């Protein structure tokens, strides 16, 4: 009898533990899904807003995620396609200028669609630089693939110039550049994208001319 009681007690303890574990998973999932809904709606992405959407307290949200960047990072995971998929429409183009223009517009349109989350991430990296590693860094893969036609020419003959072009494009093909154009210069979203694309293609055209291909 004593053995049976111990067995039943052990079973109940196991079931309770499994129940708590499942509840924690459901709560975590609800928090992440709430963040994704806010991101998809283009809303401001804050911990209080996410908690309200997930129907949990802000304290509960912070128990699962120590800060907003870590939560946004998880919510954005997988939301951007790999660079090869993103640039598929220009995959067969040998023209780096066309490829860079497409990559720039693709990235900036995607940022506009997720700007609440992107702005929150930028703010976090300014106030807490150690969180910068949580930012997706999508631009670098896009720029690298867009410049593929120059790898056997400019990079082979002048690796320093190729590296400089990559750095220059990283400044232009970015959320920071986009928000500077909209927030500080007063451009509309479409005007800002067009301006950034113009700057990116101008930089790339200059590099192409340096290879003697133009």
Phi, psi of 45 (to 5 degrees): -110, 105
Same domain as 107, residue 206: yes
Rounded distance, CA 44 to CA 39, Å? 8
Per-residue burial over 25-35, b if 16 or more Cβ lie within 10 Å, else e, is eebbebbbebb
Question: How far does the chain reach from its first CA to its final CA, in angstroms?
Answer: 90
Report pLDDT digits (tens) over 118-164.
998 888 888 777 766 666 689 999 999 999 999 999 999 999 999 99
pLDDT at 194: 98
Same domain as 159, residue 67: no
Same domain as 206, residue 131: yes
Same domain as 95, residue 200: yes
Report pLDDT digits (tens) over 154-182.
999 999 999 999 999 999 999 999 999 99
Same domain as 89, residue 69: no
Looking at 49, 76, 103, the residue that finishes a domain is 76
pTM of the model: 0.81
Looking at 76, 101, 123, the residue that finishes a domain is 76
Same domain as 104, residue 63: no
Same domain as 148, residue 102: yes
Report pLDDT digits (tens) over 63-79.
999 888 889 989 988 88
DSSP string, 100-132: HHHHHHHHHHHHHHTHHHHHHHHHHHHH-GGGG
Query: Containing domain of residue 57, as a range?
Result: 2-76
Looking at 76, 103, 125, the residue that finishes a domain is 76
* Structural domain total, the chain: 2
Same domain as 67, residue 111: no
pLDDT for residue 7 is more than 70 = no
Report pLDDT digits (tens) over 8-47.
656 665 655 666 778 899 999 999 999 999 998 888 899 9
């Amino acid at each position: 009898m004593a053995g049976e009681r111990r067995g039943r007690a052990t079973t109940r303890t196991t079931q309770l533990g499994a129940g708590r574990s499942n509840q924690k998973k459901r709560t975590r999932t609800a928090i992440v899904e709430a963040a994704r809904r806010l991101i998809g709606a283009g809303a401001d992405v804050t911990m209080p807003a996410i908690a309200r959407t997930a129907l949990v307290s802000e304290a509960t949200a912070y128990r699962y995620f120590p800060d907003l960047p870590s939560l946004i990072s998880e919510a954005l995971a997988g939301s951007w396609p790999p660079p090869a998929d993103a640039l598929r429409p220009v995959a067969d183009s040998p023209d780096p200028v066309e490829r860079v223009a497409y990559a720039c517009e693709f990235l900036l349109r995607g940022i506009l669609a997720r700007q609440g989350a992107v702005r929150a991430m930028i703010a976090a990296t300014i106030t807490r630089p150690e969180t910068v590693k949580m930012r997706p860094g999508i631009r670098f893969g896009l720029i690298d693939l867009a410049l593929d036609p120059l790898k056997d020419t400019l990079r082979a003959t002048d690796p320093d110039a190729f590296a400089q072009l990559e750095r220059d494009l990283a400044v232009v093909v970015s959320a920071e550049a986009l928000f500077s154009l909209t927030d500080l210069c007063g451009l509309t979203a479409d005007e800002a994208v067009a301006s950034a694309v113009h700057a990116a293609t101008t930089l790339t055209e200059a590099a192409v001319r340096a290879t003697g291909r133009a």
